[in-house]
Amino acid sequence: MKDLHGRTIDYMRISITDRCNLRCKYCMPQDISQVPMNEILTYEEIADVCREAVKLGIRKFKITGGEPLVRKECTSLIRKIKEIPEVEQVTMTTNGILLEAHLEALLLAGLDAVNVSLDTLDEKRYEEITGFTGLRSVLSAINAALDRGLRVKVNAVLQPGVNDEEWNRLLGLAKKRNLDVRFIEMMPIGAGKQYRTVSNEKLLQKMKMVYPDIQKDERIHGNGPAVYYRIPGFQGSIGFISAIHGVFCDRCNRIRMTATGELKPCLCYGDTVSVKKVLREGNSDDVRALIEQAVLGKPKMHCFAQRPGITEYKNMVQIGG
């Protein structure tokens, strides 16, 4: 369906858990409390929401978290959503730690693509950023997923003085294999507020110095606001998700649902529409009306650049990114 600003909303990001097996500092502070399991939507409830969402024209779903693969049998949810005839695509965003162990089940369930979050290729730095070791498992999972024919995007958040000098090394992944490497600007959400952003605009300038032949890639790579470039000789493309330095709100196509069933019209604002109560009372028409309300409640733009306007106080791990 269209929102009040003329944008077609056909994509929903669904967080299925606020738990995670990593502790990326900008996303999940150590002392964060977790919601009790009975507050979290069951897979059947999530599938009910998807069944109503498709009636409003939502066709693509992204499963996120927390870390979606820490929730038991999350492949069964993917299967349930894939069984809805109107659904065109179900994809997942993961930190990749458990990806290889679940890969065959995910493929069997019909997963269409996977985004793997990976900020560094340095073992020690990986531990500094995420609080855990595990880089090798992530790299192995990326290769395994590609070998099995799954589309892969690697998402990296660069931080000044931490991993910003690693951009060229990260690009090496797209040189060697047919995957997209995308740079996401740090957003001032939750713990992310305490971290500085690397401007994608400046990053592209640096890339142009090293790769003067880099050129815009106009092909559609997915559902999102990323802008893509190609470097001759590279198998994959380079993407930029520039939430701060390249406002993309005119192309916004999404709503989000948190693990507790809060529909979020925009990442930047705390306003939500809860579907949990009506879901649990079992009235599907009401669920649809609430999704419609959330879509119609989408603001024209986020205000990440004017921080006092931000009214979302949760951490990204509680939202889903």
Please state, in angstroms and as integers, the Cα–Cα distance from residue 65 to each residue in 13, 35, 171, 172, 243, following that order.
9, 13, 26, 27, 20
- Is residue 95 involved in binding ligand SAM (CB under 6 A)? yes
Q: Which of these ranges, 91-99, 105-113, 163-171, 278-286, lies near ligand SAM under the rule CB under 6 A? A: 91-99
* Cα atoms found within 13 Å of the Cα of residue 27, Cβ hemisphere only: 24
- Is residue 78 involved in binding ligand SAM (CB under 6 A)? no
Three-state secondary structure call for residue 11: strand
Nearest distance from C-beta of residue 280 to ligand SF4, angstroms: 26
- Provide the mask over 111-130, with x wherever binding to ligand SF4 is found by CB under 6 A and - wherever it is not: ------x-------------
Task: In whole angstroms, give the CA distance from residue 136 to residue 146.
Answer: 16
Given the DSSP bridges, would you call strands 215-216 and 227-230 parallel, antiparallel or unpaired? antiparallel
Neighbours of 283 (CB within 10 A): 12
Q: Which does 192 bind (CB under 5 to 8 A by kind): ligand SAM, ligand SF4, none?
A: ligand SAM
Task: In whole angstroms, give the CA distance from residue 36 to residue 260.
Answer: 10
Q: Which does 23 bind (CB under 5 to 8 A by kind): ligand SF4, ligand SAM, none?
A: ligand SF4
Check if the beta carbon of residue 127 is closer than 8 Å to that of residue 96: no
- Provide the mask over 198-237, with x wherever binding to ligand SF4 is found by CB under 6 A and - wherever it is not: ----------------------------------------
Quick one: which of 114, 187, 214, 267 contacts ligand SAM (CB under 6 A)? Answer: 187
- Residue 103 has which token pair? 């890969």
- Residue 317 has which token pair? 């791990």
Task: In whole angstroms, give the CA distance from residue 240 to residue 204.
Answer: 9
Q: Which does 180 bind (CB under 5 to 8 A by kind): ligand SF4, ligand SAM, none?
A: none
- Residues of this chain that interact with ligand SAM (CB under 6 A) are 20, 26-27, 64-65, 67, 93-95, 117, 155, 157, 184, 186-187, 189, 192, 316-317, 320-321
Interface with ligand SF4 (CB under 6 A): 20, 22-24, 27-28, 65-67, 95, 117, 316-317
